[in-house]
Chains A and B, each alone.
Chain A
Amino acid sequence: MPTLYDYILSDDCYKVRLLLSMLSVGYETRKVDVHPGRENCRPAFLSLNPLGRIPVLVDGDLVLRGPSSILTYIALQYDRARCFLPEGAAALAQVEMWLSFAETELSAISDIRANELFRLAPATDIAVLRRRADRAMEVLEDHLAEGEIVGRRWVAADRPTIADLALFPPVALSAEAGLPIEPYPSIWRWLHRVKNLPGFVVMPGVLPLLPKVAV
């Protein structure tokens, strides 16, 4: 059974928790005291991930860091039906393209959010991060808007993939980074499509779909 080194407020960990839930994969959780303990910066954790970040997934002898590689591994190892990771060069590459977008562009949202939360001095100027975050949302909005025109409801394929799950957490939490959502109506609708997927779970800051309430 894999072990996830996890922190409840981490949006990167949430990417992995989403996929594990949607694939009904059992796993152990090892809670890491990121804040205030900064356990991820201490030698014991660094021997697991020298970059000092979570999530880390340990499965047998395999130790993986970085949400993209962890998502890819879980999808290949535990999803025999390949629901979340299509086959074929073009399809795979498109998933990869959006996984990469999540890492390089949406990380700006995560960084601003982390700064708002924990008030540790950010490595990059907040104004620079904000411009990158705004542009990333704009690019994603354009892509999803075109998708709505041509009938493609998910970012990288005709069905949800790990690319959607990698993009969802920072975008769903973008208000915590001070970003508005009203300029991005296609993103808004896509967020609700993801929330409606079987096995969807929330994290603090992501509101659940409310149940049938009797009036």
Chain B
Amino acid sequence: MTKILKDSWILSSLFLASVVSLSGCGNKFVGVEYKDLSSGAHYTPVVVYKASSSATAAAGATSSEATGQEATSAGGTGTLRGRIELTGNMAPLPLLHGKGAEVKDAAVCAVVDIPDQTIVTKDGGLANVFIYLRKPPKVTGGNVGEASIIFDQKNCVFKPHAMIMRVGQTVKILNSDGVAHNTHTFGQKNPQFNSIVSPNDAVGVPLIYKKAEQDPISVVCDIHPWMKGYHLPVDHPFAAISAEDGSFEIKDLPAGKHEFKVWHEAGGLIEKALVVTIKPGDNDPLTVKVSPAQLGK
């Protein structure tokens, strides 16, 4: 019995402690307005008005006018040709899947061998490398691009694998397969585009990029996990993708100094700012060497 009494003593002191702590809180709040708490739902924030066009905005407008590409079309235009070379030997990548493999929609997707297009080389050249101006030029020349271009899907492979389009240009997404694909882009500046494309759709679902992207963006199909492609919407005509043998050509570049970016899907930005001086007419061929190490191999 005494033990119980002793034990209840502990209970009462605990009770006392809790009373002390509770009453402490109560006292603390008495006469103190909520706004004295620096956070939480009771705090009333100050709202500061900021006009639409800020001071920084005005400064931005003038300074961006003053810079940009040095070149003007008055100095004539030149053509840049070149080649992306893969140094060292690299064994070709294994197939994504072979003909007749047991994959989804095998009747359509496995009637031919499906290669891994992450790294495509031929005669020492590297394909699917994007070469484009680092900053859009102040003076845009050259063609404005065709009204629409085709982005097809055949045997569950994007055709082409890598693609450049102009801002505002209509990309017609076709489907040459007997199954639906859904073309899903992951733009940084453009909203995501994610639309189903009906089987054998020869009319096409229109895709229009309204903003230029900084670097190429991925395109996938959420039905067939291996399908991958890359798009680069640009607001100038000075961009190219290397062909299978690594060669590329950019026409009508204003004469002067230009900074190019060189991008490959496995290596990311290979060159961030490759400086090339363009003189009117033909220019010396430009060779960009890429080592397998830069492609993560």
Q: Do A and B bind each other?
A: no
Q: Residues of B with Cβ closer than 8 Å to A?
A: none
